[in-house]
């Protein structure tokens, strides 16, 4: 594969976003469907609540995740991938197959 002369700024920004610690894993978890904050946190126990909050806000700002408030008693909030997030997830999803084959415990 040849080296690109100039990287597109969009490519750089996308790698910066998904390269942040936990971001790819959060997206991967949300590929399974809408999740509450506590469900995401319990699925990724090493992820602190503070960092999860930061990452969810970043993903919302980038239009990858949407926060959905369910007006029941008590009020519940779920996070789900947008179309943009689902498309990104299609690219990140196969990493699990690669990891199963190549990453040692």
Domain 9-102, CATH class in plain words: mainly alpha
List, for residues 27-84, the tens digit of each pLDDT value: 999 999 999 999 999 999 899 999 999 999 999 999 999 999 999 888 899 999 999 9
Q: What is the pTM of this model?
A: 0.86
Q: Is the pLDDT of residue 5 over 70?
A: no
Q: Give the pLDDT of residue 44.
A: 96
Q: Is the pLDDT of residue 87 over 80?
A: yes
Burial class (CB in 10 A: 0-12, 13-18, 19+), 30: buried
Q: Is the pLDDT of residue 1 over 60?
A: no
């Amino acid at each position: 594969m040849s080296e690109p002369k100039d990287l597109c700024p969009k490519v750089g920004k996308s790698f910066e976003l998904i390269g942040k610690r936990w971001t790819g894993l959060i997206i991967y978890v949300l590929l399974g469907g809408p999740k509450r904050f506590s469900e995401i946190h319990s699925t990724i126990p090493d992820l602190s609540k503070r960092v999860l909050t930061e990452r969810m806000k970043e993903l919302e700002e980038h239009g990858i995740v949407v926060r959905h408030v369910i007006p029941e008693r008590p009020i519940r909030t779920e996070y789900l991938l947008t179309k943009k997030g689902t498309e990104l997830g299609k690219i990140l999803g196969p990493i699990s197959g690669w990891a199963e084959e190549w990453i040692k415990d």
